[in-house]
Amino acid sequence: MAEQDVKARDGRNLRVREAGAEDGMAVFVHHGTPMAGLLWKPWTEDAKRRGLRLISHDRPGYGGSDPQGKRSVGDVVPDVHDIADHLGIERYATWGISGGGPHTLACAALSGGRCVAAAALASVAPYPAEGLDYFADMGEDNVREIGLAINGDIDELTRLTERDAKEMLAAAPGDIIEGLESLLSEPDRAVLTDDFARFMWECGQVALRSSIAGWLEDDMAFVSDWGFDLRDIRTPVLVYQGRQDLMVPFGHGQWIAARIPSAEARLHEDEGHLTLLVNRVSDTHAWLASLF
C-alpha cells in the first residue's frame, strides 16, 4: 500500500493511500466513522485481479489529514478531485462503508460527471429523513452519539468521543468486540476475528492517534445539510444494506435506495454491518468495474 500526502486547494494536508492495479481504473474508497483510510489486503488483492486501482484518504481531522473545521458531506468532493487531479485521474468510481456512504453519494451527486458509478454500503441516511424512524433498531451507543450531534451539544459530544477514543487507543485487537458491545449483531461478531479484527483495530489507532477532530466533524456533517439532494442523483448507485445491522439500521438503506432514481438495492436479511466489508466488497468491485 503506497502512501503520500496531497495538498487540498485550501492548503490542508490529505493523507492518501493506493493499492491494487497500478494502472487500473480508479476507485475511491471512503472509510467509516471513526476510522482511517487503510485498505484491507483482501480488498486490494481483489481489486488487482479486476484491474482496479483503489485510492483512499483520511477524511479531514483523521490520521494524517488536517482538520477542516465545520464541513458538509458534500465538501468531500473537492478533496477527492484535488487528489484525482494530483494523480492524473479524470474519471473514477467510488464505494464507501457506513460513515463513508454519504461521502460516496456526494461524489455521485456533485462530481460534474467525473464519478461514473458509486456504491454505498450500510450508509447512514441524512437527518431528518421524512418517513424514516431514524433510531429504530440502532444500537444504544450510536443513538446517544448521534442524538448529541442532533441537539448541538458539542461539549458533551466532545467529552463522549474523547472518552471513547481514549478507550479505543488503549485497547488491544482482541478487545474490539467488547468495545462495540451494543453495536454488534451476531453476524458482525462472527467476522471480528483474526486479520479482519486487527485491520479494524489498526484503522481506529491510525484515525484517532492525533485527535478526535475528524470524528466530531463527521458526526456534525451527518446531521447537517449534506449539500445535495439524493433525488437529484443520476449516476448509477448500488446500495448494500443488511437486516442484522445495529450500527446503521436496515431502514436507512431502504430509505436511501427509495430516494435515488438510479439506485440498485441489494438488501440482505442475513448481513450485518461489518459483514459487508468481508462478504460484499468483491461483488461491489465487480459491479463498479462493469460500469467503467
Instruction: Give the Cα separation of 247 and 85 in Å (integer).
Output: 34
Whole-structure pTM value: 0.98
Query: Residue 246 gets which letter from DSSP?
Result: S
Q: What is the mean pLDDT of residues 28-46?
A: 98
Mean pLDDT calculated for residue range 6-28: 97
Cβ distance 59 to 76 under 8 Å? yes
In angstroms, what CA-CA distances link 255 with 133, 249, 259, 275? 10, 10, 6, 20
Q: In the chain, what is the straight-line distance between the N-terminal and C-terminal CA atoms, in Å?
A: 23
Q: Are strands 237-242 and 115-121 parallel, antiparallel or unpaired?
A: parallel
- State which amino acid sits at residue 228: F
What values do phi and psi take at 232, rounded to 5?
Answer: -90, -5
Statement: residue 41 has pLDDT above 90: yes
Q: What angle do CA 34, 41, 117 make, to 5 degrees?
A: 70
Average pLDDT, integer, range 265-289: 98
Percent of the chain with pLDDT over 70: 100
What pLDDT score does 1 carry?
Answer: 87
Asked whether the beta carbons of 212 and 242 are under 8 A apart, the reply is no
Q: What is the pLDDT of residue 2?
A: 96
Helix locations, the chain, DSSP H: 41-50, 76-87, 100-110, 140-150, 154-170, 176-179, 186-191, 194-208, 213-222, 250-259, 275-279, 281-289
Domain extent listing, the chain: 2-289
Q: Which fold has domain 2-289?
A: Rossmann fold (3.40.50)
Model confidence pLDDT, tens digit, residues 123-133: 999 999 999 99
DSSP-derived 3-state class of residue 177: helix
Grid cell listed for 151:
441537539
Residue-level pLDDT at 181: 87
Per the CB < 8 A criterion, the answer to whether 244 and 185 are in contact is yes
CA angle at residue 146 from 144 to 150, to 5 degrees? 115
Q: What is the pLDDT of residues 63-95, one digit of tens each?
A: 999 999 999 999 999 999 999 999 999 999 999
Q: Are 50 and 289 in contact (CB under 8 A)?
A: yes
Rounded Cα–Cα distance for residues 1 and 17 (Å)? 6
pLDDT at 63: 98
Work out the mean pLDDT of the chain and round it to a whole number. Answer: 97
Bridge-partner residues for 2, per DSSP? 18
Give dist(CA 262, CA 14) in Å, integer: 31
C-alpha 54/C-alpha 1 separation (Å) is: 10
230 falls in which pLDDT band (50, 70, 90)? very high
Please report the pLDDT score of residue 160 as a whole number.
97
211-219 average pLDDT score: 98
- In this structure, the chain runs to a length of 292
Per-residue pLDDT at 89: 98
